[in-house]
Amino acid sequence: MLHIKCPHCGLRSQNEFAYGGDASVKRPELNKEVSDKEWNHFVYLRKSLRGKHLELWHHISGCRQWIKVQRDTATHEIFKTFKASEEI
């Protein structure tokens, strides 16, 4: 069982959260011409790191805020959590 510290609510069990995937992915800028290659990068390509991974979680059965979590994908150690708007 993972225990994730929601920056809004405190330490909660994994059951309260839904996973949202890699948080380092950047959407191409709005109102700009986007090539197939850029779009492919944004929508489909993922580094899928072994080790430290910055990811999105949704505190869906809690405050319903999206948060960022820095977690080790091999050991599940959680190093730090952030509000969605915070940069690391």
Partner 1 sequence: MQKYSVFNLIKNAFNNHEGWEVAWKDPAPKNEYDVIIIGGGGHGLATAYYLAKEHNIRKVAIIEKGWIGGGNVGRNTTIIRSNYMHDENALFSEFGMNLWRSMSQELNFNIMFSPRGIINLAHSDAQMNAYSRRGNSMRLNGIDAVLLDRDQVKKIIPMADFSENVRFPIFGGLMQPSAGTARHDGVAWGYARQADSMGVDIIQNCEVTGFDVVAGKIKGIRTSKGNIKANKVGLCVAGSTSILAEKLNMTLPIETHLLQACVSEPVKPILDHVVTFGAGHFYCSQSDKGEMVMGGDLDGYNSYAQRGNLPTLQHVLTEGIAMMPFLSKLKMLRTWGGIMDMSMDGSPIIDKTHIEGLYLNCGWCYGGFKATPASGWTFAHTIAQDRVHELNAGYSLNRFNTGHLLDEKGLGTKTWIS
Contact positions vs partner 1 (CB under 8 A): 1-2, 14-15, 19, 21-22, 36-37, 40-41, 43-50, 53, 55, 71, 73-76
56, 82 Cβ separation under 8 angstroms: no
Q: Which residue has the tokens 């910055």?
A: 54
The DSSP bridge partners found for residue 71 are 53, 78
Quote the least distance from Cβ 33 to partner 1, whole Å. Answer: 16
Select the binding partner of residue 87 from partner 1, Zn ion, none (C-beta < 5 to 8 A, by kind): none
- Of 75, 64, 81, which is closest to residue 4 (Cα–Cα)? 81
Residue 49 or 84: the one with the smaller Cβ distance to Zn ion is 84
In the complex, minimum distance from the CB of residue 58 to partner 1, in angstroms, rounded to a whole number: 11
Cα(37)–Cα(22) distance, rounded to whole angstroms?
Answer: 19
- The yes or no reply on residue 78 touching Zn ion (CB under 5 A) is no
Instruction: Tell me if 63 contacts Zn ion by CB under 5 A.
Output: yes
d(CA 73, CA 47): 12
